[in-house]
Amino acid sequence: MQRFLILFLLTTACLGAQGQQLDPNDYIYPLRELKQRLYSANFGEIRPGHFHAGVDIKTDAEEGKPVVAAADGYVSRVVLQAGGYGRAVYLTLRNGTTVVYGHLRRFRDDIERHVRRERYERRSNGVNLWFGPGTWPVKQGDVVAYSGDSGSSGGPHLHYEIRDTETQRLYNPVREGIIRPRDEYPPRIVRLHYVEVDTVQGVPVRSVPESYAVVRTAAGRYALPHDGPVGVGRRGYFVAEVTDRRNDVWNSFGVWRVTAFADGIPCFEFRMDSFTYDISRCSDAVSCYPIQINSRNEAIRLAQLEGAPDSFYPTMAERGLIRTAEGQVRRIRIEAEDDCGNVSTLEFAVRGRAGEFRAEADTTAVTLRPDRTSVLRVGREAEVRIPEGTIYEPIFVRPGLGEAPQADSGVVVLSPAYRFFDPATPLFRAVEVTLRGSVPRPLQLRAQLAVRTRRGSLA
Residue 340 has pLDDT above 60, yes or no: yes
Q: How many CB atoms lie within 10 A of CB 159?
A: 25
Could you say which DSSP state residue 287 is in? B
For 316, counting Cβ atoms within 10 Å of its Cβ (0-12 exposed, 13-18 middle, 19+ buried), the class is middle
Q: The domain 20-171 is classified under which CATH number: 3.40.50.2300, 2.70.70.10, 2.30.30.230, 3.30.70.100?
A: 2.70.70.10
- Predicted local confidence at residue 33, as pLDDT: 97
CA 248 to chain centroid: 25
Where do you find CATH 2.70.70.10 in the chain? 20-171
Residue 15 has pLDDT above 50, yes or no: no
1 or 307, higher pLDDT? 307
Instruction: Tell me the DSSP string of 378-436.
Output: ETTTEEEEE-TT-SSS-EEE--EE-PPPPPPTT----S--EE-S-TT---SS--EEEE-
- For the chain, what's the residue count? 459
pTM for this predicted structure: 0.89
Q: What is the pLDDT of residues 408-425, one digit of tens each?
A: 777 878 788 899 989 899
What's the whole-number average pLDDT of the chain?
Answer: 91
Residue 189 has pLDDT above 50, yes or no: yes
CA atoms 378, 281, 279, 67: torsion sign: positive
CB-based contact 184:162 (threshold 8 Å): no
For 425, counting Cβ atoms within 10 Å of its Cβ (0-12 exposed, 13-18 middle, 19+ buried), the class is middle
Residue 402 has pLDDT above 90, yes or no: no
Read off the pLDDT band of 46 (50, 70, 90): very high
Q: What is the pLDDT of residues 89-139, one digit of tens each?
A: 999 999 999 999 999 999 999 999 999 999 999 999 999 999 999 999 999
Instruction: Tell me the DSSP string of 215-264.
Output: EEEETTEEE-SSSSPEEE-SEEEEEEEEEB--TT----B--SEEEEEETT
Residue 276 to residue 223: CA distance in whole angstroms = 36
